[in-house]
Amino acid sequence: MNRYRQVSTVEGIFGSSTLDSARAEMIKKTYILLSISVVSGIIGGIIGSNSPFMINLFSGWMGWIMAMILLNMMPRIALAARNNPVLGVSALVLDGFVSGLILAPMLFLANAYAPDVVPSALAITGMIFAGVTAYVMTTKKSFNAPFGLISGMFFASIGIMLLNMFLGYPLLSLIIAGAIGIIGLLILLNATSQILNNPEFNDPLAGALMLFAGLFNIFIAVIHILMAFTGRDD
């Protein structure tokens, strides 16, 4: 019996970390699942922003209520199916796709009035993701923000954003976007530290969902802020 644990080196964006093989495989699987959900979200966003039905649906009260329900339910469905690889990944893909569809009105406006906003928002979100990953890998710190508090802040901010759609206060919209961005950053920081630095964390699907939730919130915040500077944050 081999008394020594097999080790492997995982090359990160900004360096390498020597981890046992099980941890390395878990981290690799987490980021593969994250990539799948991001691609699904991009596809959903492209389809939604080119569909008049989806744009109209998620521009009104009923659409926003539906969006809040879906954003809350889809990750739960994915987590419930985590023990079945096929169902779990399918639910993850659906979660990303639906998240992209929900952004249809915002993406449509951005593409119509400021075509550079969406690519810029994607690039900024990617840089934030890389920066957080580098920070966590360098400091080796573990962050554990209360998930209930973060979730409550997120849905409260979304509710205020919905109300502001009908009030139309640009400054309030900018403040809300900043709040959602901070919440997304907290989720991303918490998830990244758990995945990379917590030896007891062993749930790639949950890790991918948390990372995607953080990136989703940050992307929403960045695109709203960029649109505010174009004068089209409606």
- Write out pLDDT tens, residues 106-149: 899 888 888 899 999 999 999 999 999 999 999 887 777 655 55
Q: Judge whether 36 lies within some domain.
A: yes
Q: Write the CB contacts of 141 (distance below 8 Å, at least 6 apart in sequence).
A: 193, 197
Q: Write the CB contacts of 51 (distance below 8 Å, at least 6 apart in sequence).
A: 104
Q: Judge whether 2 lies within some domain.
A: no
pLDDT in tens, 194-217: 899 888 888 899 899 989 989 998
Q: Judge whether 143 lies within some domain.
A: yes
Provide the Cα torsion 113, 128, 203, 201; round to 10°.
Answer: -160
Averaged pLDDT for residues 162-186: 69
Asked whether 101 and 47 are in contact (CB, 8 A), the reply is yes
pLDDT in tens, 36-54: 999 999 999 999 999 999 9
Least confident of 6-20, 88-102, 142-156: 6-20
Q: Judge whether 101 lies within some domain.
A: yes
Counting residues of the chain whose pLDDT is more than 90, the rounded percentage is 32
Q: Judge whether 1 lies within some domain.
A: no
What is the pLDDT, as a whole number, of residue 151?
Answer: 56
CA angle 74–161–62, rounded 5-degree value: 55
- As for how many domains the chain has, the answer is 1
Q: Judge whether 38 lies within some domain.
A: yes
Asked whether 201 and 143 are in contact (CB, 8 A), the reply is no
pTM over 0.85: no
User: The dihedral of CA 36, 88, 30, 157: what is its sign?
Assistant: positive
What is the pLDDT, as a whole number, of residue 199?
Answer: 84
CA distance 161 to 167: 10
Q: Write the CB contacts of 79 (distance below 8 Å, at least 6 apart in sequence).
A: 205, 206, 209
Q: Judge whether 97 lies within some domain.
A: yes
Nearest to 26 by CA among 207, 209, 215: 207
Helices (H), the chain: 21-49, 52-57, 61-80, 85-102, 104-113, 117-139, 147-167, 170-197, 204-230
Q: Judge whether 93 lies within some domain.
A: yes
What is the pLDDT, as a whole number, of residue 163?
Answer: 54
End-to-end CA distance of the chain: 65
Scanning the structure block, which residue is given the tokens 């008049």? Answer: 52
What is the pLDDT, as a whole number, of residue 156?
Answer: 58
Task: Categorize the per-residue pLDDT at 232 as very low, low, confident or very high, splitting at 50, 70 and 90.
Answer: low
Averaged pLDDT for residues 157-174: 58
Mean pLDDT rounded to a whole number for the chain: 80
Whole domain around residue 104: which residue ranges?
7-230
Judged against a pLDDT cut of 50, whether residue 3 lies above it is answered with no
Task: Categorize the per-residue pLDDT at 150 as very low, low, confident or very high, splitting at 50, 70 and 90.
Answer: low
CA distance 163 to 159: 6
